[in-house]
Amino acid sequence: MTTRARSFDAAAALYQAHRPAYPAALFDAVEELTGRPLAGSRVADIGAGTGIATELLHARGAEVVAVEPGDGMAAEFRRSHPGIPLVRGDGDRLPLAGGAFDLLTYAQAWHWTDPARSVPEARRVLRPGGALAIWWNDLDPAVPWIAEQGGRLRDFFEGDGRLGAGGAGGAGRTGADFRTLPQGLDGFTTRSVPWSRRIRLEDHLANLASHSAFLLLGEAGTREFTDAERERLLALFPDGSVEERYVVGLSVARV
């Protein structure tokens, strides 16, 4: 794992508390595109983190196992979801038996894998006709304040070269400029699933701070950005709450 991929470990509780979940419509779309109900399906959730997606798959009745490489994220997962099985490992070397799964999910995790390894690994552990689903929750850049904030994030990280190549990463970037579909898997079908949540401004800032770009930057640099952002957003939303609007970009391929 890269330093950046490991950055979540020190901030697992912040991640679990402030990262958004996923809407029911996403799981409806997964069922539609795979042609199979989640209930009773054998699912492995790869890069499960603290279990935000795993918990929802479990609630839909999937027989789900989580796979997570990070110490801190795995510990937070076990604390938050003691009833859901987790195995340590990563997408490039799945600690799973061959042909044993109907579905693999990578919720905001595919980009941390090396497709030269993770695609063959996915093929190995899926049964014939099984499917792989990857998705990302992106703040919707069609919303003016979100687009403006995305511009400030890019300026902050890339204008000053704070993080070098890779820049803002998930904080402020969306779909096409950050993620690529796996090479070597044909026939992806895709859906965009819009949804929103209204939260306190402080929780929005904590959500931003849980992205790997800020985790690598450290506390002082993060505070510099979030303090300025608090002032700007309070002028727009004086009641101290914001509506975060998201679009989940989902892609499903069958093997």
Ligand X SMILES: C[S@@+](CC[C@H](N)C(=O)[O-])C[C@H]1O[C@@H](n2cnc3c(N)ncnc32)[C@H](O)[C@@H]1O
128-167 residues in contact with ligand X (CB under 6 A) are: none
Q: Which stretch binds ligand X (CB under 6 A): 30-38, 69-77, 156-164, 216-224?
A: 69-77
Cβ proximity to ligand X, 104 vs 253, nearer residue? 104
Confirm or reject binding of residue 109 to ligand X (CB under 6 A). yes
Q: Please work out the total of residues on this chain that contact ligand X, with binding judged by CB under 6 A.
A: 22
Q: Which stretch binds ligand X (CB under 6 A): 32-40, 55-63, 84-92, 126-134?
A: 84-92
Nearest to 115 by CA among 181, 196, 23, 24: 181
CA distance 178 to 170: 7
Nearest to 153 by CA among 171, 141, 180, 138: 171
How, if at all, do strands 241-254 and 189-200 pair?
antiparallel
Confirm or reject binding of residue 69 to ligand X (CB under 6 A). yes
Cβ proximity to ligand X, 70 vs 141, nearer residue? 70
Confirm or reject binding of residue 24 to ligand X (CB under 6 A). no
CA distance 64 to 101: 10
Confirm or reject binding of residue 222 to ligand X (CB under 6 A). no
DSSP 7-67: GGGGGHHHHHHHS----HHHHHHHHHHHTS-STT-EEEEET-TTSHHHHHHHHTT-EEEEE
Residue 96 DSSP class: S
Out of 90, 102, 121, 138, the only residue in the binding site for ligand X (CB under 6 A) is 90
Confirm or reject binding of residue 68 to ligand X (CB under 6 A). yes
Structure tokens at 49: 């983190």
CA distance 222 to 184: 38
Out of 14, 17, 19, 203, the only residue in the binding site for ligand X (CB under 6 A) is 19
Confirm or reject binding of residue 1 to ligand X (CB under 6 A). yes
Yes or no: say if 63 and 37 are a contact pair by the CB < 8 Å rule: no
Q: How far is the CB of 86 from ligand X (least distance, A)?
A: 11
Q: Which stretch binds ligand X (CB under 6 A): 1-9, 151-159, 175-183, 220-228?
A: 1-9
For residue 147, the SS3 value is helix
Confirm or reject binding of residue 121 to ligand X (CB under 6 A). no
Confirm or reject binding of residue 5 to ligand X (CB under 6 A). yes
- Residues forming the site for ligand X (CB under 6 A): 1, 5, 8, 19, 46-49, 52-53, 68-70, 73, 90-92, 107-109, 112-113
